[in-house]
Structure 1
Amino acid sequence: MSNEYVKRKVALKDIQPCLICNKPSTTVLFNGDNNNGGGADWFYVCDIHLQDNIQFVVPVYSKEYENEVIHLRQLKQKITSTAAIKNGNWDGWVTKLFAKGTKSSTKTDNIEADSAIDADNEDKGTKGQDTKAPADLSALQREYDETLDRITKLQKNNKTYQLSDTFYQSRLERKKQQEKLAARRKQLQESYTNTDPDELLSKFAFPSVPKTS
């Protein structure tokens, strides 16, 4: 059984106690992995126990979520650097540009600055991008907010979880016990079914009806 559980909702008529706090809950963590033929595993749990509870479960997010998080970090770095430039920290930025060299001493200062920007972008493999500095801070902030909203939505709609090692091992042990009991019941049933009725009659003496005089 793999350590991957999916959150599901059941009807109110099927409500049962939470595994953690015993309060009634309609949320079920379901594991349908039946590779070993031992049947599915599930248990009821309150939604609040699925939030920031690494000792119980951790969410398993999609690739889309991971990409959005990376994009958010990149936007944060751009916003930080752009804000620093707009606040007057131009010296280090200009020095870096002109360290690449200028093409001609007869050109104006503006042309020299543009050439230095192009050289820097060529080194990074991004020629033609971000040639205007500082970038539009409001546009970056708007994109950051939109990305954050998408991340929040993906978090809210996540339905896949992994149990902590302790809980997962307890579920495995419980499943093994259930499989043993099921095998035992099956063995007893087969033993009873295969018994010859005549053999049963010879082993047991059934009481007879008393004779009346």
Structure 2
Amino acid sequence: MSFPNVYTHRKVAEAKAKSCDICYKLSSSVLITPDNKDWFYICPAHLKDTGFCTPFIDQAAVEARKERELREEIERVKKEYEEKQKKKNEKPDKGDKDENDEKGDKKKEGEDQKQQQARDRSDTMNDESATSPAQEAEEEPRVFELKSAFYQLRLNKKRQAEIARRNRERLQDPNYFPSVPKSLP
């Protein structure tokens, strides 16, 4: 009746919340084994306690996430560079204009560039702020390994439940108890 010491953190509906196995407060967080043999309700605060469990970090997933972020950053920089090149190529030739017109145009272009840079900054900040809550959710570990003492408690609890179930089945069996003797001694 052994199961691996790898638990996945899942959320249940608030209406289905039950008491935490450690502190008995209502909790909607559940730790469950991959094969669904063992599960229990736990407070999110206990998941951060290093004395209770440690996050199980999947190095392959971390590397894949870093690589994906790097690709997204490269794509963003390429787009910005292409936009700047298009704007640079779209500028009209200044050879036909007067010096006064050129001075006025330079001031306008300087203002336009400042406005464009401000817009670019706000766009990048909006992009970063839009992705940051999702990244924070990803940053929270989902797979945990219980400390040995708590894991042993879970194993003992499961063993006791299995023994109690077997005893109930035995008591339901009519052949479990001895029968009354039918012959005289």
Give the whole-Å Cα distance in 1 for the aligned partners of 2:138 and 2:154. 28
Larger Rg: 1 or 2?
1
Select the residue among 164, 167, 192 that pairs with 2:147: 164
Cα distance change of structure 1 residues 184 and 177 upon mapping to structure 2, 3 Å threshold: same
- TM, length-normalised to structure 2: 0.51
Listed as ranges, the matches of 1:138-177 within 5 Å are 152-156=136-140, 158-177=141-160
| Letter aligned with residue 154 of structure 2 | R
Give the whole-Å Cα distance in 1 for the aligned partners of 2:168 and 2:26. 31
Listed as ranges, the matches of 1:20-35 within 5 Å are 20-33=22-35
Corresponding residue for residue 47 of structure 2: 50
| Letter aligned with residue 47 of structure 2 | L
* Structure 2, unaligned runs of 5 or more: 67-127
Corresponding residue for residue 184 of structure 1: 167
* Structure 1, unaligned runs of 5 or more: 35-39, 70-145, 203-213
Residues 9, 26 of structure 1: 8 Å contact kept: yes
- Give the CA deviation at 1:188: 1.4
Residues 7, 27 of structure 1: 8 Å contact kept: yes
Larger % of helix: which? 2
The RMSD of aligned alpha carbons is 3.4
Give the whole-Å Cα distance in 2 for the aligned partners of 1:14 and 1:64. 31
- Give the CA deviation at 1:33: 3.1
| Letter aligned with residue 159 of structure 2 | K
Q: CA offsets per residue over residues 147-184 of structure 1, 9 Å max, x none? A: xx79755322x321110111001101111111111111
Percent identical: 34
| Letter aligned with residue 21 of structure 1 | C
Corresponding residue for residue 61 of structure 1: 57
- TM, length-normalised to structure 1: 0.45
